[in-house]
Amino acid sequence: MNCASSVFAVSNFQTLFLWLLQAHRNLSQLPNFAFSVPLAYFLLSQQADLPEQELSSAREQASILIRQALTMFPGVLLPLLEYCSMRPDPAVATHRFFGPDAEISQPPALSQLVSLYLGRSHFLWKEPATMSWLEENVREVLQAVDSGDPAVEACESRRKLLYQRAPRNIHRHVVLSEVKEAVAALPPDVTTQSVMGFDPLPPLDTIYSYVRPERLSPVSHGNTIALFFRSLLPNYTMEGERMEDGGAGGLNRNQGLNRLMLAVRDMMANFHFHDVEAAREDNPEGDGEWD
């Protein structure tokens, strides 16, 4: 979900939006949704044409949700700041929670989702007001981590449990997205297999509406030598016949051997040998020279 659609949902269909957030397929457990929703609330709180109470409520809700997102996905912060060409505070960059270990230690499946979100939506965070609001909440999260908030450990356990491996349709989406950071995070068993550019990693239960028909090689009955060499091929069949499986396999092999023997006999019968000595006796002087 992008930021514009989130703002639209919050401002016009708040009830439906909250139902999606809390009940439908656990969308809040995805990093793109977890960060887009508080950003949408924050942008809503910046609207000048709304009542002050509504602006204050949106700002408070945005801060609560962004702290939850940062606690659940600490590996998002430093890559996001790097995308936005922002230098993190030394206290943040060297902290064990938001430091480089946060990005390295997260599961590969989660790295794919984070890279996909940042590659598409990082520009939404570049506004100075947004960065200032993000900085305030990062400091709040650091205080909670240092104070031993049990929510931090609970989120770490959920990350290890929920993001062990991304499903095949996520891999397919990553390949089609062409976000290089997300593609680089794909597992080796996906990157080493050959994929079609127009249909990478199709679902395993794909129904193909067109199947290429099997081609039968035409057999030439007029050329014995050609028939002999064709019979040596493993896929050799007579015209109108197909190799069958099961109990007919032995019969087909016997028929193939019989056809091969007949072809060899026919070829040998058509060979004609010229008697060189007899030809010399008929013409002892040779061809000679023409006058």
Better-scored residue on pLDDT, 214 or 17? 214
- Same structural domain for residues 22 and 161? yes
Q: How far apart are CA 114 and CA 94, in angstroms?
A: 21
Q: Of 99, 131, 165, which residue sits at a domain end?
A: 165
* pLDDT of res. 10: 44
- Same structural domain for residues 68 and 146? yes
* pLDDT of res. 272: 60
Output the average pLDDT for the chain.
Answer: 76
29 within domain boundaries: yes
- Same structural domain for residues 160 and 224? no
- Same structural domain for residues 138 and 281? no
79 within domain boundaries: yes
Q: How far apart are CA 289 and CA 265, in angstroms?
A: 42
- Same structural domain for residues 110 and 236? no
179 within domain boundaries: no
171 within domain boundaries: no
Question: What's the mean pLDDT in 206-229?
Answer: 63
Least confident interval from 27-36, 133-142, 180-189, 216-225:
216-225
- Same structural domain for residues 43 and 151? yes
Better-scored residue on pLDDT, 100 or 257? 100
Q: How many domains does the structure of the chain reveal? A: 2
Q: How far apart are CA 158 and CA 29, in angstroms?
A: 9
- Same structural domain for residues 51 and 158? yes
- Same structural domain for residues 150 and 225? no
Q: Of 128, 149, 165, which residue sits at a domain end?
A: 165
- Same structural domain for residues 17 and 158? yes
- Same structural domain for residues 242 and 150? no
204 within domain boundaries: no
Question: What's the mean pLDDT in 204-232?
Answer: 64
Q: How close are the terminal C-alpha atoms of the chain, in Å?
A: 99
Q: Which of 97, 78, 96 is nearest to 88 (CA)?
A: 78
Cβ atoms of residues 108 and 182 within 8 Å: no
Taking the CA atoms of residue 134, residue 47, residue 6 and residue 131 in that order, the dihedral angle to the nearest 10 degrees is -20
* pLDDT of res. 222: 54
Q: How far apart are CA 84 and CA 78, in angstroms?
A: 10
Q: Of 131, 165, 199, which residue sits at a domain end?
A: 165
Length of the chain: 291
Whole-prediction pTM = 0.61
- Same structural domain for residues 11 and 125? yes
Residue 89 belongs to what domain range? 3-165
188 within domain boundaries: no
285 within domain boundaries: yes
Highest mean pLDDT among 58-62, 105-109, 166-170: 58-62
99 within domain boundaries: yes
- Same structural domain for residues 234 and 107? no
